[in-house]
Homo-oligomer: A and B are copies of this chain.
């Protein structure tokens, strides 16, 4: 069996932070808003094409990340999407939003301009919080 690979474009755009039970978890390099991307191990391209059990499992993991974004990163709102017009590999966006953030009230896709980057220290801190609150498994 070929080992599942996260798409190279997602790797270019994001920090790979680890693995949840089902999904690979990435954090977009643009630090202007907390923007997580979940990649479930599947060949399906569209979220709504997934079998119910797998889709529900993926949504449950997205909900855990959304709860993290709200409670730990203090965003009052999350945006959720599965688009995939550019990167065909199924990936789920969970984006922390707050009024007044750098592209409020527009969605981030195609609207968020380049922002600040995460420092190594901040990335390490977020990863550690994800291990604690979301049962994240670190990358080998």
Contact = CB atoms under 8 A, between A and B. Distances in A.
A22 to B, nearest CB: 15
Contacts of A47: 80
Interface stretch (A3-11, A13-21, A82-90, A127-135): A82-90
B66 A60 contact: no
- Interface size grouping (class) on chain A: 20 to 34
A81 B48 CA distance: 11
- Assembly of this chain: how many copies? 2
Per DSSP, are chain A's interface residues mostly helix, strand or loop, or mixed?
Answer: mixed
Interface stretch (A24-32, A101-109, A117-125): A101-109
Contacts of A52: 56, 60, 63
A78 B46 contact: yes
